[in-house]
Amino acid sequence: MSKGREFRRPKSKSSKRIRVKDEPDKRINYDLLKPVFSFHYMQYGKVYCLSGCSQIDKASVSDRLVELSQLTWERLASEPKTGLGYEKIPRRQFKTPLPKSVTPEVTIQVFRHSRVGRIAGFRKNDVYHIILVGDDLYGH
């Protein structure tokens, strides 16, 4: 860089023509979209992490996620919980503490990946954040 030249200040993200919004678009009906899966909030190496599952369970989880990703959220809500659907489980029923990033107002939804295997997480818009995977996540 030559002498006397300074860096330019970045321009504001908002202008008269363009407005940047951080909140989701209210016009989008996320129930009509297919789910996107995220492991961002899973605590790697902890109890009920995918890393602690057997190869058979890991394969079962990935197979189930592929199946679920082909349906819309609306369709998943109408499916039975013993099939491709999910059930809502109260926080107090979980045997392990949930990650601190999962606040009390979050609704935990649980999918089955095998006869006894479960995938627990929460939904935000069309993204399902997986937080726990295992066989004995909660008391019935």
**Residues β-bridged to residue 121:** 109, 130
pLDDT 10s digits, 103-135: 889 999 999 999 999 999 999 999 999 999 999
Domains belonging to the chain, first-starting first, are 30-134 (3.30.2310)
Q: How confident is the model at residue 136 (pLDDT cuts 50, 70, 90)?
A: confident
d(CA 12, CA 61): 44
Structure tokens belonging to residue 14: 């908002």
pLDDT 10s digits, 39-82: 999 999 888 999 999 999 999 999 999 999 999 999 999 999 99
| DSSP letter for each residue of the chain | --TT--PPPPPPS--SS-----SPPTT--GGGSPPEEE-TTS-TTSTT-GGGS-HHHHHHHHHHHHHHTTS-HHHHHHS-TTTT-EEEE-GGGBSSPPPTTS-TTPPEEEEESSSS-EEEEEEETTEEEEEEEES--B--
